[in-house]
Copies of this chain bind each other. A is one copy, B any other.
């Protein structure tokens, strides 16, 4: 519609998150970033590199190794007028802060009968693929999506990496953002003035009529690759990027499945009790009569992620396993 094409810039997922943090801190004097090694080190995944020099140690706040206390402090600061962005270095360490997230952040608004909301954003890296082995490769965003009171986001694209953080900062509720470790180096172009994006809606990243591949975050590229493969076999897969894991955009899911009549849910969590189980159950409840085949799940194997590359990759969803599951729904 716009006659003048908006300026576009080359960037990475990592830079997009950094740009969003910079925008947020520039726009709102109450916003600040807090977490382990976000300052002097520049962030475990280099997301916040340079921001300490720009904003100073009050607003790019290095914390001790105290996940429970600094997440709790983020909640308290949010209660008392600030706009904290707390970085938990990775989801693996967030277990140490889970009590604060579940029993305080998610619960305070309710327990106080609506008096005290917690406008807090928590960012964490998630996922496997870097051969970090059993204690450093969890994908636990599905757990967080279980908790009423939270919003859970999983940006899979550069636009979303930039825009979802800004969107989250407009939300008066605690919002968790999961950034998949394999995405940080992803390159691409976005509008120079890219800003907040809508959260809460899933996106159809590729339209198709034969089967719906439903995924998010680090698995999106794998699903897209699977769709590519399937296209060569004349199977047109529709790919849904959930984007928001809580609340789920069931309308988009059901709308697509009602058209394609087949679905594969892809999720890097362990299969048993995965987010994919929830999506599958939702389809069961809302689109059972539309289905021409059982919904399939492609998740991680039931094993703590092993260190060697061949075993790690074998444990994770792959384009081949996704494509195979899609074919199976078509009886091929």
Smallest CB gap from A145: residue in B: B273
Report the stretch among A29-37, A176-184, A201-209, A276-284 that lies at the interface. A276-284
Complex CA–CA separation, A89 to B68 (angstroms)? 20
Q: Tell whether A55 is near chain B: CB-to-CB under 8 Å.
A: no
Q: State the interface size on chain A (CB cutoff 8 A).
A: 53
Contact between A102 and B95, CB atoms less than 8 A apart: yes
A275 and B278 contacting across the interface, CB-CB below 8 Å = no
In the complex, residue of chain B having the shortest beta-carbon distance to the beta carbon of A301: B148
Which B residue sits closest to A103, measured CB to CB? B135
| 10 further contact pairs, Cβ within 8 A, besides A277-B280, A280-B284 | A68-B96, A93-B99, A102-B138, A106-B304, A107-B135, A110-B306, A145-B273, A246-B272, A248-B272, A281-B297
| One of A40-48, A75-83, A153-161, A288-296 at the interface | A288-296
Q: A269 touching B146 by the CB < 8 A rule?
A: yes
Question: Which residues on B sit within 8 Å (CB–CB) of A304?
Answer: 106-107, 110-111, 148-149
A295, B297: Cα distance in complex, Å: 17
Out of B68, B95, B284, B289, name the residue touching A295 (CB < 8 Å).
B284
A135 to B149, CA, bound (A): 13
Q: How far is the CA of A277 from the CA of B111 in the complex (A)?
A: 27
How far apart sit A275 and B291, CA to CA, in the bound complex (Å)?
Answer: 23
Counting CB contacts under 8 A, is A54 at the interface? Answer: no
Say yes or no: is A270 at the interface (Cβ < 8 Å to chain B).
yes
